[in-house]
A and B are shown apart, each in its own frame.
Chain A
Amino acid sequence: MVLAALTGVGFTYAYAEQPALVGIDLQLEEGRLHGVVGLNSSGKTTLCSLIRGVIPHFHHGDLTGEVVILGRPLLDWDPAELSRTIGCVFDNPFTQISGIRETVFEEIAIGLENLGVPRDEMIERVESVVEQLGIEAIVEKNPNELSGGQRQKVAFASIIAMDAPVVVIDEPTSQLDPEASEAVFEIIEGLKHRGKSIVLAEHKIDLLAQYADTITVMNEGTVVMHGPTRDVVGSDEFGAYGVVPPEVTELGRRLAAAGKPLDRLPIKRAEAFDEISVRIGRSTHAH
């Protein structure tokens, strides 16, 4: 099935002077990791909010066009059902902790409590999520006293425990250091392998290039590029919308400009390694 199908979608927040989304046509498949990139205020967050149903059920405004989520028009969804079907994690680790539970274990269970899951099943699910995310060491800690990175992981765990088939993630690493960011991406990849569909807005293009299946580039409220990650990131057009390409891609481009093009433009570290070692091998053979 199609995760989200948008046709001619526009949205203007109540009291905003300019529309946040304009004429969006986009189709996202289920079971994949979709990356969304673009400048600040290019519409990434608004797009995520729309797919999650936070628009228009929470943020009011003027919505035009057609949004179909998992085969059903967005406005036909019951908000509570939509929140069970599509989990969401966003950038601020501090607002995602409930503030009403005393241990991480209890914090992760909140969603399950609200869904009315029986206690024994709840405990098993929390236990398994704790193991998946490797946060065994903090299960007994007070969630209100954790570091930003730890909180972000707990926020992830809470959503994963609810086992929603779709997860929308908005800049989950913006406040994390490189090591923690990489860990979060590994968690996201794990989700995909367990059959979840993921929409991920993110600035760290190096990481997206490694992990995402498709990339959507947004600019001034509209989708300017969409397609498989390699096609989008490797395209000459990519840099035109203010997104900094991965360092290895930039390296590939500069090599081409210096008259030493690689056979294939790398978008991942490993690709760059392979391409350049082939080149070195060839040139040492030539000598």
Chain B
Amino acid sequence: MTNNAVAAVADRYRQPMTLGNAVLDIHPIAMVAGITALIVVGLASAGWIVPLAVSALFVGIAYLAGRGPSYLVTILKLWIAVGLILFALRALLVKGETVLVPLGPIAITREGIENGLRFTTAVMVICGGVTLFFAIVSMRRLMLALERIGVSPRVSYVILASFQAITDLGATARVVLDAQKARGIETEGNVFVRARAFFPVLAPVFLTAMTATEERAIALDARAFNNPGRHTSLLNLKPLTAVDTVLVVLSLVVAAAAVTGGILGWF
């Protein structure tokens, strides 16, 4: 790469951060407000149609943000792994008057199905919202926004470093697994043979990671991590724009209306 290319990279950091998509560029805090308001709408309803509609809306937002397909896959997996079981258990086990399908000692009842639909869609609207948030807001942007409103850079260090540590330790685990095989420790075979390999694999990974914290602490200290003064940031996160502000206000109104409506039994 030439120096011009480096200059181009540097220029990018001078500009406010943009991901080239109106939805993705919404300020993370406005995003929290918006998604929370939608979840509240879903939960305030006594039926199952509204939460289901909100869930569908989440999918729509994901498509607008250009993350549709991967979000859809994630959320469908959640529906199958969580939603279906929640629904099936309730449909089967909640006792009711109107028996639809008798199955020996238990029975599928209309009440069970209604209870199941309501509960499942409510849980899934929360799942859908949380998953959507993390699908379209990167941890890095979120922490940056939080630092802006006074959260300590140390807090964001802990959160961001955790993600990296999970990746790093996972990689070390595979190397150590090889190292212990190479030493003659059997890692294939019946469950007892494999269980004996567990500690020799896990201990070097954990001990190395723990002893490395000492060096990490010194290395980051050398980079003024413990400097008590104000920290600045290379990444230029746009402050809340007018659109963001409108979104926050709108969210509050919608949420308040939904709660009132829910209490009054509108929907």
Q: How near does chain B come to A30, taking the closest CB pair, in angstroms?
A: 19
Since A58-B217, A100-B156, A139-B6 are in contact, a sample of 6 more A-B pairs with Cβ atoms closer than 8 Å, ordered by chain A residue number, is A83-B226, A90-B215, A95-B215, A116-B232, A119-B236, A130-B6
Contact (Cβ within 8 A) A99 B168: yes
Q: How near does chain B come to A196, taking the closest CB pair, in angstroms?
A: 14
Q: CB within 8 Å of A: which residues of B? A: 1-3, 5-7, 9-10, 13-14, 140, 153, 156-157, 160-161, 164-165, 167-168, 212, 215-236
Contact (Cβ within 8 A) A123 B6: no
Residue from A113, A136, A137, A144 within 8 A of B233 (CB atoms): A113
Contact (Cβ within 8 A) A119 B233: yes
Q: Which residues of A contact B222 (CB under 8 A)?
A: 52, 83, 87-89, 111, 159
In the assembled complex, A102 has its CB within 8 A of some CB on chain B = yes
In the assembled complex, A105 has its CB within 8 A of some CB on chain B = yes
Contact (Cβ within 8 A) B218 A54: yes
In the assembled complex, A126 has its CB within 8 A of some CB on chain B = yes
CA distance A94 to B165 in the complex (A): 12
Contact (Cβ within 8 A) B217 A100: no
Residue from A80, A100, A112, A123 within 8 A of B10 (CB atoms): A123
Residue from B2, B157, B217, B234 within 8 A of A136 (CB atoms): B2
In the assembled complex, A96 has its CB within 8 A of some CB on chain B = yes
Q: Which residues of B contact A159 (CB under 8 A)?
A: 222-223
CA distance A113 to B227 in the complex (A): 10
CA distance A79 to B217 in the complex (A): 13
Contact (Cβ within 8 A) B227 A115: yes
Which A-chain residue is minimally distant from B138 (CB atoms)?
A: A102
CA distance A58 to B225 in the complex (A): 14
CA distance A79 to B227 in the complex (A): 9
Q: Which residues of B contact A116 (CB under 8 A)?
A: 227, 229-232
In the assembled complex, A158 has its CB within 8 A of some CB on chain B = yes
Contact (Cβ within 8 A) A79 B226: yes
Given known contacts A92-B215, A114-B223, is B1 in contact with A119 (CB within 8 Å)?
no
25 A-B pairs, CB-CB below 8 angstroms? Answer: A52-B222, A79-B221, A80-B224, A80-B226, A80-B228, A83-B226, A87-B222, A88-B219, A90-B218, A90-B219, A98-B219, A98-B220, A99-B164, A100-B160, A105-B13, A106-B234, A106-B235, A112-B234, A113-B232, A116-B231, A116-B232, A117-B232, A123-B10, A123-B14, A130-B6
Q: Which residues of A contact B7 (CB under 8 A)?
A: 127
Contact (Cβ within 8 A) A119 B227: no
Residue from A95, A130, A137 within 8 A of B219 (CB atoms): A95
CA distance A276 to B261 in the complex (A): 97
Q: How near does chain A come to B154, taking the closest CB pair, in angstroms?
A: 11
Over the window 247-287 of chain A, the binary record of Cβ atoms lying under 8 Å from chain B Cβ atoms (1 yes, 0 no) is 00000000000000000000000000000000000000000
Residue of B168, B225, B232 most packed against chain A (CB within 10 A): B232
Q: Which residues of A contact B2 (CB under 8 A)?
A: 136
Q: How near does chain B come to A86, taking the closest CB pair, in angstroms?
A: 8
Contact (Cβ within 8 A) A131 B6: yes
Q: Which residues of A contact B223 (CB under 8 A)?
A: 98, 110-111, 114, 158-159, 162
A residues 101-153 with Cβ under 8 Å of B?
102, 105-106, 109-120, 122-124, 126-127, 130-131, 136-137, 139-140, 144
In the assembled complex, A155 has its CB within 8 A of some CB on chain B = yes
Contact (Cβ within 8 A) B236 A139: no
Q: Which residues of B contact A130 (CB under 8 A)?
A: 6
Contact (Cβ within 8 A) B3 A119: no
Q: Which residues of A contact B215 (CB under 8 A)?
A: 90, 92, 95-96
In the assembled complex, A230 has its CB within 8 A of some CB on chain B = no
Contact (Cβ within 8 A) B218 A114: no
CA distance A52 to B221 in the complex (A): 11
Contact (Cβ within 8 A) A136 B218: no
CA distance A109 to B231 in the complex (A): 12
Q: How near does chain A come to B16, taking the closest CB pair, in angstroms?
A: 11
CA distance A249 to B153 in the complex (A): 52
Q: Which residues of B contact A58 (CB under 8 A)?
A: 217-218, 221
Q: Which residues of A contact B235 (CB under 8 A)?
A: 106
Residue from B10, B165, B227 within 8 A of A114 (CB atoms): B227
In the assembled complex, A204 has its CB within 8 A of some CB on chain B = no
Residue of B7, B156, B221 most packed against chain A (CB within 10 A): B221
In the assembled complex, A84 has its CB within 8 A of some CB on chain B = yes
Q: Which residues of A contact B212 (CB under 8 A)?
A: 92, 94-95
Q: What 5 A-B pairs have minimum CB-CB distances, sorted nearest first?
A: A99-B164, A111-B223, A114-B224, A100-B160, A95-B215
Q: How near does chain B come to A253, taking the closest CB pair, in angstroms?
A: 38
Which A-chain residue is minimally distant from B140 (CB atoms)?
A: A102
Q: Which residues of B contact A162 (CB under 8 A)?
A: 223-224
Q: How near does chain A come to B43, taking the closest CB pair, in angstroms?
A: 35
Contact (Cβ within 8 A) A144 B168: yes
CA distance A106 to B236 in the complex (A): 12
Given known contacts A58-B221, A83-B224, A95-B219, is B6 in contact with A127 (CB within 8 Å)?
yes
CA distance A162 to B221 in the complex (A): 12
